Amino acid sequence: RKEVEQDPGPFNVPEGATVAFNCTYSNSASQSFFWYRQDCRKEPKLLMSVYSSGNEDGRFTAQLNRASQYISLLIRDSKLSDSATYLCVVIPYNTDKLIFGTGTRLQVFP
C-alpha cells in the first residue's frame, strides 16, 4: 500500500464549480500535512497547510481527519488558473521527510 494515495483524476469542472479532492495516508504516526500545487512541467509549490481544525485561504479549504487518516482540499468558485495537479504531502513523526502523493489533476474549463 502506498504511503500517500490520491485519485489521479483528471477532474474536469466548469468555471465557478466547487471541487473537492481527498488524500489518504497509511502511517498513523504522521505529524504534518500539506497541499502543494504543480503546474504542467513546473516545480511544485506549497499551497497550504492542513490542520485538524481546518484551514481556509480564500477559495481554498483544507481539512484533516486523523481518525480516518485522510486529508481533503476544497476549491470553491473554480477559476481557469486553478488548473494544475494538486499534491498531498505528509511528514511522518521524527523525520523531516516530505512524502508526496501522486497528485490529482484538475482541469477547469470555460
Partner 1 sequence: NAGVMQNPRHLVRRRGQEARLRCSPMKGHSHVYWYRQLPEEGLKFMVYLQKENIIDESGMPKERFSAEFPKEGPSILRIQQVVRGDSAAYFCASCSMSTATNTGELFFGEGSRLTVL
Q: Which residues contact partner 1 (rule: CB under 8 A)?
A: 4, 6, 8, 31-34, 42-46, 49, 87, 89, 91, 95-103
| Minimum distance of partner 1 from residue 54's CB (angstroms) | 16
**Three-point CA angle 41, 3, 12, nearest 5°:** 45
| Minimum distance of partner 1 from residue 88's CB (angstroms) | 9
| Minimum distance of partner 1 from residue 43's CB (angstroms) | 4
